[in-house]
Structure 1
């Protein structure tokens, strides 16, 4: 049974309930002061607490999509290979390979022409040599005959750390949200490329080109657009490309647009931070390279380098988010540049979690779509 299986959660709850009942039932018999009775009480309490923590952890993982599998949880993820595409067109080459296709969750349609399609893909970076899985949402218009020569704008969507790409589809509901916005005329049809910023798991690279290590920024700035353009009818100009993410993905999104305005014309950061952290999950990202360290600090970038010609959206909440003060400071500094354009979503309250981001995804996608073209 998989880590995210409902059966695992139900089994954990059942075990916790049995241990709780057993503790209540056996406690009077273990009321003595000899070592066996004391050991019995300690054992019952310990196992019951562990079972309760397991239930909470499994439920939280299902709600927030931190880990996709047992291997992912224990840092033994092996999903790095490239699956050969045996699709109808017989294509077997290229940096992007389609593994499987499915309907859009939450959309009642049986054909891609009416409901769109979600494709699971494997991507290999030709420059970075990074291999990572992703999900691609194609809107219904992509399959309709009248749009067969049209190119579509692309939004790269990133999770937080550690995150799972599947959570962007099932939990944050990006495809169904994008489909609904386009259907209502509030946003244009877009291709969504959904993946985690953790392209060298389990390490958190913060979308940095680590000296002697994973070239994560190169992957997102060069390899990923190249792979998508080689496989889909996507717009080739920067005005057709945007990037959006939450938490770590939000930081990466804003940084990529600021570092590479010739690639991404717009970026939306949901609950982002503005400087790459150094902690046990990241390791040494910079290896003494002060320029690399400085450029990973977006406040330093605004102060010391020419402001990029790009559009940014940042979000926070007055109560519940730790990035509120930093976000307000970032907005002020961007406004002072008179070149980079800045927008914001500031909620009255909302924590650093999926519930908050679900409130921000629809207006953020609408904002992003309004700044991209299909050419």
Structure 2
């Protein structure tokens, strides 16, 4: 049974209830002052508390998808297989390997031509030297004969730190939401490339190129779109590519879009911040370089670098988010030819529930700004 399965959660809750009931029933018999009675009381209390905490932890994980599997929870690296099959999805490419496939979570449907497909791939960065796993959602139109010669726009979707890519599938439901938007006529079919910004775990690189360290910005801005365009029917121009992220992923999305308008024409930051974090999880990102630190400050970049011919979308809430004033400042600094849009909720915290309220509109906005090649 998987870590996020309902059966595991139900089992944990059931055991917690049984142990609580056993404690209440057996407590009078264990009230004696013998050694065995003392150990019995301690054992029942400890077991009950462990199962209560386990139930709460599993419930929180199912809601926020901190960990997607037991291996992820235990910190184990999963061995990657090698599959080279490009007939109906990824084409042969030295920079991308498909290691698995799954069906989008759409009740009552199973046909690829009706719901699409999710490929799990490993991307090898030609310039950065970074390898990272990702999920690629291919919309149903990708497999329909009338679209067989069409290229599709693509959107890179990033989690926060230290989130997992599974968060984007299960917690935030990007593929299912994208399918709903297309079915309702509110968005065009788009390929989604879903992964986490933590490509050098456990370090949070803030999507910057670190001197003598991971070249994360190069991976996202150059390697990733090149590899995906070679493997799937995706255009190579900026108008074919967008990038979305939440929290740390939101900062990364805006940063990559701002600094690489030749690769991404639209970028959206959900609950983003606007200056690279510097803390124990990041280590020394800039090695004393004032220029590198300033460039990683998006507000500084808007003031001192040429404004790109790109579109930006930022989200916040008046109550519950800490980025409200930073978002206002970012919007105030965007000037032509750049364009900026926003989603401002009356209230909403820094969590999955807030982002799920924003994602449908974000995908519609992104769809309106991208085009096929």
TM-score, normalised with respect to structure 1: 0.90
CA distance in 1, matches of 2:128, 2:82: 19
- Equivalenced residue count is 372
**Counterparts of 1:102-251 in structure 2 under 5 Å?**
102-106=102-106, 108-251=108-251
Whether contact under 8 Å (1:107, 1:115) holds in the other structure is no
268-277 vs 137-146, greater mean Cα deviation:
137-146
CA distance in 1, matches of 2:42, 2:109: 55
One of 357, 360, 366 as aligned partner of 2:358? 360
Whether contact under 8 Å (1:23, 1:44) holds in the other structure is yes
3-state SS of paired residue (1:370)? helix
- Structure 1 unmatched runs, 5+: none
CA distance in 2, matches of 1:28, 1:280: 50
Whether contact under 8 Å (2:65, 2:170) holds in the other structure is no
Structure 1 residue 136: Cα displacement? 1.1
**Counterparts of 1:1-375 in structure 2 under 5 Å?**
1-28=1-28, 44-78=44-78, 81=80, 83-86=82-85, 88=87, 93-106=93-106, 108-334=108-334, 337-375=335-373
CA distance in 2, matches of 1:178, 1:107: 15
Structure 1 residue 269: Cα displacement? 0.9
CA distance in 2, matches of 1:5, 1:108: 19
3-state SS of paired residue (1:155)? strand
Instruction: Note closer, same or farther for the CA distance 1:319–1:27 as it changes in structure 2 (3 Å cut).
Output: farther
Structure 1 residue 264: Cα displacement? 0.6
Per-residue displacement from partner, 1:109-156 (whole Å, max 9, x unpaired)?
443223222222221111112112111111222222222222111111
Whether contact under 8 Å (1:108, 1:115) holds in the other structure is no
3-state SS of paired residue (2:166)? helix
CA distance in 1, matches of 2:249, 2:205: 11
Structure 1 residue 315: Cα displacement? 0.6
Structure 1 residue 183: Cα displacement? 2.3
CA distance in 1, matches of 2:38, 2:279: 40
CA distance in 2, matches of 1:365, 1:372: 11
Whether contact under 8 Å (2:93, 2:231) holds in the other structure is no
83-92 vs 28-37, greater mean Cα deviation:
28-37
Whether contact under 8 Å (1:84, 1:92) holds in the other structure is no
Instruction: Note closer, same or farther for the CA distance 1:73–1:213 as it changes in structure 2 (3 Å cut).
Output: farther
Instruction: Note closer, same or farther for the CA distance 1:11–1:259 as it changes in structure 2 (3 Å cut).
Output: same
RMSD: 2.5
